[in-house]
Amino acid sequence: MKYMNNILNWGVNLALTIFTFITLWFFCQVFLLASFRIPSDSMEPELTEGDFVAVWKPTLGARLFNLNATLRLEQTVIHRLPGCRRIRRGDVLVFNFPHPNGWDKIEMHILKYYIKRCIGLPGDTLSIRNGRFRINGVSEPLGNLDSQDRIGRTLSGEFADGIYKAFPFDSIIGWNIRDFGPLYIPKAGDRIKMDRTNYALYRKLIAYEQKTEIEYKDSIVFLNYKPIQEYRFQKNYYFMAGDKGMNSQDSRYWGLLPEEYIVGKATFIWKSVDPYTGKFRWNRFMKKIE
């Protein structure tokens, strides 16, 4: 009998230990840390393919949403807990890619993540001049200057197919990755006049916020088939860019990132494996991401 009690106590303790471990792991995944593997060279030289980065969620605040709905590819309401601080220019962020099914519509796919550097914040006016990012009223350099200068030195005819032309891919606006903007990055509460240019720049954001149709017809913008002269934004947005500007699918091409799609700030590399040799790269182990 004593032997059976010992077996039973051992089994109960083991079950409690496993349950506690799973609970702590789930808590950390939801509220504190997540891991993201770098799949490409778009963030070189800071991050390279085969790096595994730790993503710190409390910076902006952890997100709560219906996981089952997102796994069914349904759009769901995202709630964010209070964070430690606001996102800053230069932060390297992991986020859900806002265009998993095409660049014409903002949607969230829980299993599709990107990692880029934040260049523009809500309320900023961003431009690209001769390849370099510029923010009105900000004098410090933004992003990887070597990559931007390379773009500035490259003639338009020397870019590979699909690289030169940029968001919003409008023949009249005519932006490209050497000469872009000015583009105002909306913050919650901002009001903008709805003309042809702003329709081209913000129609995806408005359709995403309102979950309805928006169109431009006879010099008038129609939201849910009703004419509007201005629009008040409900959410904050960000401009994201890869450090390797000649090979990065980022805001220069697909536009602005909704704040609620941000998972967290990439803080350090906890593991790095050469994708071709399988060897562990000790020189990158525990490297701080800057």
Judge whether residue 268 has pLDDT over 90: yes
Q: Give the pLDDT confidence score for residue 76 in this predicted structure.
A: 81
The span from the CA of 29 to the CA of 27, in Å, is 5
Per-domain residue ranges of the chain: 2-122+238-288
**Per-residue pLDDT band at 79 (split at 50, 70, 90):** confident
Of 38-42, 239-243, 272-276, which one has max mean pLDDT? 239-243
Q: What percentage of the chain has pLDDT greater than the value 70?
A: 89
**pLDDT tens profile 47-62:** 999 999 999 888 888 8
Which whole-number Å values give the CA distances from 35 to 209, 210, 219, 266, in the listed order?
Answer: 29, 32, 47, 9
Judge whether residue 121 has pLDDT over 80: yes
**pLDDT tens profile 241-251:** 999 999 999 99
**pLDDT tens profile 3-35:** 666 666 666 666 666 655 555 555 555 556 788
Contact 149, 129 (CB under 8 A): no
Rounded to an integer, the average pLDDT of 159-182 is 95
Question: Up-side HSE of residue 27: CA atoms within 13 Å toward CB?
Answer: 6
* Pick from 3-12, 83-92, 210-219, 280-289: least confident: 3-12
**pLDDT tens profile 57-76:** 888 888 887 877 777 777 78
Question: Which stretches of the chain are DSSP H helices?
Answer: 2-27, 67-71, 145-153, 196-210, 251-254
Would you identify the CATH topology of the domain 2-122+238-288?
Umud Fragment, subunit A (2.10.109)
* Pick from 57-61, 150-154, 173-177, 249-253: least confident: 57-61
Judge whether residue 80 has pLDDT over 60: yes
Contact 221, 100 (CB under 8 A): no
